[in-house]
Structure 1
């Protein structure tokens, strides 16, 4: 049994797309032109490769690396379409929260820490990838206030998972079906259920 077997196909999809959603939240906070968008997309891919390619990678990073190398892309589950960049940012942050909840609930603390670090690395590298403002790339700033705000929001959100884990609030199993035994923290959809 592999680590991936701990997750449903939908849950694994959320975990695999979590890093891209962290980058998308930063991109949506302050959209760049075409060259900036390409640089940000390359930064997302490079940060993910760096995280899953680390020599000291965890079982979760191993499973993600195997999927990135060998599996055809999985069809995305149906979801509400974003109508504007604010919706993209909001949906991306929610996707990151759901993915982090799944990882913290169903993997080891080492996997949880590695995933959290990967999400922050992706977000930071995305923010730094393109110069914002200025004229023809001159006089802009590397990370603007909107991007810094999203980075801070991600750091706060992901830090909350670390604090829950330290207090022992996150267990490494699917919450029980009996409503009187349900864990105190909400599930990825806010309901307290893992599915």
Structure 2
């Protein structure tokens, strides 16, 4: 792995920024270099939010917006639009919070057969474990399942250390359930 660039799209309050930070922390624990940073527009709950995470073997990590990501993660179903997929590299990963299966999402959005598609109903999982529509930890399970970038145990350990007690345990359960329930459609399967 040289560098894996991830662009997160969510709404304020869903935890896109935190998801990127947790992933970066886990990458560092596993011996990689990583950087996570947000890009805000109107800073209010519910407003569209972009966050970025770079994971690399190189200590010199640029802090610039990711225009051509290897991975695009959509935390909010209302953002399932072509404009948010823009720039995704051919062969990259499109990971979405939706109850749709990957083939259904491909048809709905008329997606090209140029990248891998994964789906998970992170909203239902978050509501089950957290009793709130905060989908960041659930979507992290989908990211790990799709990319195999890191060990799921490392993500869970970072979450438990960042959110101690019952909140950490509930978030760990959300990660694990999403990891187990993510449906991954590899590029060759979509053709």
TM-score band, normalised by shorter chain:
0.3 to 0.5
* Pair member with larger Rg: 1
Higher helix share: 1
Higher strand share: 2
TM-score, with length taken from structure 1: 0.35
TM-score, with length taken from structure 2: 0.36
Structure with more relative contact order (C-alpha pairs < 8 Å, separation 6 or more): 1
